[in-house]
Structure 1
Amino acid sequence: MSEPMKWRPWRFGILMVLSGVTIAAALSVLVLTPGAGLGSLVAILLFGGWLAPFSLALHYHGALKSLKSLKSATPTDVEKARSAAVAAVNDSRAKASRHEYHQERTLGRIERELRQLSVLAPHGRWTGADGLDVLFVTSNGAGLGHITRLLAISQNLPPNRTFELLTLSKAYKQVAGRGMTVHYFPSSEATGENTARWNRIFRNYFRDLVTTRRPSVVVFDGTWVYNGITDVCRAFGITLVWVQRGMWRPEVDEASPQRHAAAGVVDHVIVPGDIAGNETVDSGPGLEATYVGPIVRTRKEDLAEREGACKALGLDPAGRYVLLSLGGGSISDPDSIAHTALTFIRSASPELIPVQVVSPLVDIIEEIPGLRRIKAYPVMAHARAFEYMVAAAGYNSVQESVSLGVPSVLVPNFSTKTDDQVRRARLLEKQGLCLVADNETALRESIARMADANIRRELRSRIELVDAPRGAEEAAAAIEEIVEQTEWIRGVDTVKGSEIFDA
């Protein structure tokens, strides 16, 4: 509320003098020049001389009433007036916010339509009778986790289903030539390309791949669905499924506009379970997630016996081994977590030989005394070669170590963008299914405990009670149902009239 104008007598006096002069001048003109045709001017001067003081008087009268009202108002009256003013301001802001919200939605819709127009421009909608059933797509990721989950699902699809893989992982050659066609597209991180430009180029590539391979369903595994994938799938009428690994960091989960409004980017969401603990994901309006069990590629019944597993890895069956699967820098670096773990293993169990899994992207394997270094994918197919393992608490490592009966020391990675490895490791530890080392002291103590064969036996006995994960089969069944729902499009046909009416 603005402050009332203060009473200034001199202002009113000056205005009254000017008003009087104006009226006197008007009368003088009227008397001294009668009939000169100056009637309009006289009228204006008289009206102006009267209106100015009258308006000021009214203003001061209103201001005086407001002032008296404020002086006589009770605190309750003042509070009511203040509340009314605040409510009016809030209402105005709410109306503006609603307007901005609708405007933002409209602009978003226009942007999506423009992107789809750019997708459709060079090609029309395909409606042929043959084509790929499923195109699996993965983001880059720090390892082979996304690929491994999709491979596990693909292995459980019906034998008559056709599928291929598109990945941004530089480790694509590790899965090529295993009965699956693999397409590789370099990620923006791998190329150093500007993100906006990379997305445009990827959209064009994906559009051309879809036009060539003609999938009925696209299944994406990653934490962010690229706009190009959504645009192309919707422009071509292809069903898009998002396989969404759980255990996201809380702050990342809350900040994700896609995860909690999934219908805006995909048609279905599949959430794999986690042996450490399952969770419910709010996918937003219009889409309800499908929950399946934990997904693993290698099942216990598929494991080779210990002697065969050792030979497959180039290890002497007479030796005893510890699997070391940690990132965090070169094992030659004294400050790396892998070097620290290696030192503790040698100290606690000199009779055990550490075996490190080397990244498939490493061209030359450096020889380190007392350490065997191997390239193998999937290495857990040879799990019986090892007494125990020291590994990061990533999704695949945890599901495989438990489901395959391997005692483990889990070392959570604190620097992951999305995966909450600390929470996963702690939940698994509460169930008595692993040991956890989230600092150097705990790592030394855990490795020292794991050197005791009795501790390893106790862990194995508890692990044996865990149900075998069936997530890969359940996810494959869900995708098969989606594929079946899309098969009606293949009934589109054209028949020439001569083929019907020929005698």
Structure 2
Amino acid sequence: MKLNILFIADVRFEGGTSTALAVEIQAAARAGLKTGLLAVKGPLLDHPYPMHPDLRALLDGGATERIDPETKVEADLVLLHHPTIMSNCVTRRISIRAKHLVMVLHHPMVDRLGKLQYDLARIINNCRWTFGVNVLLAPVSAIVRDALPRRLPTGAELLSEDWTNLIDLDDWPRRADGPPHNPVVIGRHARPDKLKWPSSIADALRIYPADQSRYTIRILGGDSFLEELYGQLPANWEILPFAWTGIPEFLQGLDFYVYYHSDSWSEAFGRTILEALAVGLVTILPIHFQPLFGDAAVYAAPRDVERVIDKFINDVEAYAQQSALAKDFVSRHHSADLFQQRLERLFGIARPRDSAVERASMIQPLPTRHVLFASTNGIGMGHLAQQMAVAQRLPEGLKPVFATMSYAMRIAANEGYHAHFLTYHRGIDAAPEDWNDVLAEELFDLISHLRPAVFAYDATAVFDGVAAALAMDPNLFSIWVRRPMWRESHRGFLEMANAFDAVIEPGELADEFDHGPTKEMRDKVFLVPPVLHLEPNERLERTAARLFLDLPEGVTVVALQLGSGSNFDMRGVRNGVLKALLDRPDTLVLDIRSPIRADLAPDEPVGPRHRIVELFPSFRYSRAFDAAVVAPGYNTFHENILGAVPTLFVPNEADEMDLQLNRARWAELGGFGLLMRRDHGLPHVDSFVERLLDPTERDSMAARCSSIIWTNGADQIADFIEDHARILRTDWDITKGA
């Protein structure tokens, strides 16, 4: 593949590095250049961050091509964004030939306290080892340039000019003209990090005053860390969570942008400052930023910030002039339109004559990669169904293969997936130690045969055999998808998180009722919305669903789905509910049996209005149901709530299950459903059924459920898998072995 530019970056960075990269990719696309993006998992970020949304949007929109690490590439220019991505050698051989190799230095080598931030000599050596050419160092600012040693490592050369951040002015509409508000709105935004804030509470209160009669302090990117840093926060500080979107609108609502950080932090450039200047905000900064932004900003010591603000409040003309200076500075020195000029001036890369045709004709398909989905599930089939939800959303070129302990494996096979059955030690009466050894061998054999790019494990329990198999191939990217609502007895499995590269937790509608052990680990996992195999709008319409199920007109249809019964005897509940329903002459019961129920012997309906069916996925036909009685396992609970099916929840309260009772309580107390416990409510089953079938009650539950705003977490998990299936790893030191 021949490219004008190959961008190489850790696409998970939340802040300015990714935003600056996105602007360059977009500018190159506008110039008609042929570019590609090779994603790296570097050593700096431990949290399982997803790809920055701006970069994903550019890939999805065709502005650049996703590059697989095994793709052979020839590029006029290879741009490595951020030095730390090459702190270690790459863990697999790549074939990239670069005419020019540029390392964009987004961070100083030494911070303000003199602490080394990265080993430049090691990075240069790794670059030369990997690409076979010398490295041009491109500092993003004079601050980064000045932190470099006078004598550069062998094979490194300093670019003659700084690789300053650029910004697309169309994305940053100017703040409306006019004087400041009363009270004055002072704001700032940054990723949530203590180093991005003044070191002392005294300085913080000088810079962001607590006088609510005069000031409103609006903070985008605040979190609990601010209370840890400063104690109780002033009442006029409005704390907003970090976000990737809505920043231009946030800035347009401010009067002043005021940004100060820790004494120990070295801000390489200040992307957020550039954004504030772009919208024309009067911006107040510490004096060390003056070489970067000149007269576009105003500079003051913390004790003088209020005085500077007062000056501009009392001089409307000076306020307007300073706003104009800010906008003009960004237009002259940092407009995205300057990127093409930079490329041509430094590297001779000119705009192609027939760029659109040329770029479209050179797009190449990505090589096929396997994704190995492994799951437990001897009792239910929720983990397997959740993995199928993700698998069906993977793009072309990623081939799902299933290895599962679920007896519902045939469901995956029937969908056309390759599936491998893994025995569980209880099913064959094997000693756990011996079984784990065999499990490790089975999984390793599968991994060796398939050579998957990603191993995705869905379960609560992580077995030693799984961890052992993964340890044999540290370059295989591994993900543990674990759902919330754990019992305390499951806490021990949390220690197994270290066996995986990333942990993903699907969301829980009843999150406020979850006080289990995973709640304490939220800062170490990638949180996504609740996951559904099918989305509510993918269901058959009511008429079509009833026709498929051969349901007569004029009857009230109730779905009965109480799980497999393998570990919690629901026969009494089923019989009691069934009788109460069939005692009503206008009711038909659709008794949906699990494909992995404990008793596989066929049983007979108790009457003509009792239908026994094996139906998967039953949610596809749920518009045919007027009501349902179900066990609130993760999948069924979220399907019925998000599908607005009026439901009586009967939780499975076995010790090894998740906290289904908490889900049902959330539904009951919020008006989203009804709760009946097996050992408490059975004597009153008639009253529960009467309430469930009351038209007013059903309408109320359906309306409450329909008001929930939701997106499918399966889409985000599929995106995460796609991004990490095409990633180059430098996050571990392969020179030390595995």
Instruction: Give the TM interval when normalised to the shorter protein.
Output: 0.5 to 0.7
Deviations 1:279-313 (A, max 9, x none): 58659899810000000111121111122212333
Change (3 A) 1:456 1:174: same
Change (3 A) 1:407 1:287: closer
Q: Which residue does the alignment assign to 2:527?
A: 291
Q: Which residue does the alignment assign to 2:43?
A: none
Q: Which residue does the alignment assign to 2:592?
A: 357
Distance 2:529 2:387 in 1: 14
Q: Which residue does the alignment assign to 2:619?
A: 380
Q: Displacement, 1:315?
A: 3.4
Q: Displacement, 1:248?
A: 1.0
From 395, 398, 401, the counterpart of 2:634 = 395
Amino acid paired to 1:162: K
TM-score, with normalisation over the residues of structure 1?
Answer: 0.66
Q: Which residue does the alignment assign to 2:577?
A: 341
Distance 1:282 1:272 in 2: 12
Q: Which residue does the alignment assign to 2:540?
A: 304
Q: Displacement, 1:343?
A: 1.4
Q: Displacement, 1:485?
A: 2.2
Change (3 A) 1:478 1:319: same
Q: Is the 8 A contact 1:283 1:289 kept in 2?
A: no
Distance 2:697 2:539 in 1: 23
From 559, 565, 581, the counterpart of 1:323 = 559
What is the aligned residue count? Answer: 358
Q: Which residue does the alignment assign to 2:213?
A: none
What SS does the aligned partner of 1:191 have?
Answer: coil
Q: Is 1:226 matched with 2:463?
A: yes
From 648, 653, 674, the counterpart of 1:435 = 674
Q: Displacement, 1:235?
A: 1.4
Q: Which residue does the alignment assign to 1:239?
A: 477
Distance 2:570 2:404 in 1: 34
Deviations 1:424-454 (A, max 9, x none): 1111222110011112145432211112112
From 670, 692, 697, the counterpart of 1:450 = 692
Change (3 A) 1:487 1:304: farther
Q: Which residue does the alignment assign to 2:499?
A: 265
Q: Is the 8 A contact 1:268 1:287 kept in 2?
A: no
Change (3 A) 1:329 1:202: closer
TM-score, with normalisation over the residues of structure 2?
Answer: 0.46
Q: Is the 8 A contact 1:131 1:214 kept in 2?
A: no
Q: Displacement, 1:393?
A: 1.4
What SS does the aligned partner of 2:635 have?
Answer: helix
Coordinate RMSD, CA, aligned: 2.9
From 418, 421, 427, the counterpart of 2:660 = 421
Amino acid paired to 1:463: C
Change (3 A) 1:150 1:174: same
Change (3 A) 1:282 1:413: closer
Deviations 1:432-478 (A, max 9, x none): 10011112145432211112112111111111101134211122222
Change (3 A) 1:286 1:152: closer
Distance 1:127 1:179 in 2: 33
Q: Displacement, 1:234?
A: 2.3
Distance 2:518 2:649 in 1: 29
What SS does the aligned partner of 2:672 have?
Answer: coil
Q: Which residue does the alignment assign to 1:31?
A: none
What SS does the aligned partner of 1:382 have?
Answer: helix
Change (3 A) 1:181 1:455: same
Distance 1:127 1:343 in 2: 67
What SS does the aligned partner of 1:148 have?
Answer: helix
Q: Displacement, 1:409?
A: 0.2
Q: Which residue does the alignment assign to 1:461?
A: 703
Distance 2:576 2:555 in 1: 23
Change (3 A) 1:176 1:316: farther
Distance 2:389 2:522 in 1: 28
Deviations 1:151-195 (A, max 9, x none): 111122223321111110111112213131111122112222222
Amino acid paired to 2:502: H
Q: Is the 8 A contact 1:135 1:165 kept in 2?
A: yes
Deviations 1:212-260 (A, max 9, x none): 11111111111111222222222112121111110112x224xx2331x
Deviations 1:259-288 (A, max 9, x none): 1x3443222110111112265865989981
In structure 1, stretches of 5+ residues that fail to align are 1-124, 490-503
Q: Is the 8 A contact 1:262 1:287 kept in 2?
A: no
Q: Is the 8 A contact 1:263 1:285 kept in 2?
A: no
Q: Which has the higher strand share?
A: 2
Q: Is the 8 A contact 2:590 2:613 kept in 1?
A: yes
Change (3 A) 1:271 1:427: same
Q: Which residue does the alignment assign to 1:63?
A: none
Q: Is the 8 A contact 1:245 1:271 kept in 2?
A: yes
From 465, 468, 474, the counterpart of 2:716 = 474
Distance 1:216 1:165 in 2: 14
Aligned pairs (5 A) from 1:71-220? 132-220=369-457
Deviations 1:401-421 (A, max 9, x none): 011111100011111414011
Q: Is the 8 A contact 2:529 2:710 kept in 1?
A: no
Structure 1 stretch 448-457 or stretch 382-391: which is displaced more? 448-457
Structure 1 stretch 283-292 or stretch 224-233: which is displaced more? 283-292
Distance 1:137 1:317 in 2: 43
Q: Displacement, 1:131?
A: 6.2
Change (3 A) 1:461 1:388: same
What SS does the aligned partner of 2:591 have?
Answer: strand
Change (3 A) 1:247 1:283: closer
Q: Displacement, 1:346?
A: 2.0
What SS does the aligned partner of 2:426 have?
Answer: helix
Q: Which residue does the alignment assign to 1:409?
A: 648
Change (3 A) 1:288 1:334: closer
Distance 1:450 1:386 in 2: 12
Distance 2:399 2:565 in 1: 39
What SS does the aligned partner of 2:374 have?
Answer: strand
Distance 1:452 1:170 in 2: 38
Q: Displacement, 1:327?
A: 3.9
Deviations 1:131-164 (A, max 9, x none): 6431111112411100111111112222332111
Give the 4+ runs in structure 1 shifted more than 6 A: 125-131, 283-287
Distance 1:345 1:338 in 2: 10
Q: Is the 8 A contact 1:323 1:355 kept in 2?
A: yes
Q: Displacement, 1:320?
A: 3.2
Q: Which residue does the alignment assign to 2:511?
A: 277
Change (3 A) 1:470 1:193: same
Q: Is the 8 A contact 2:556 2:588 kept in 1?
A: yes
Q: Displacement, 1:350?
A: 2.6
Amino acid paired to 2:485: M
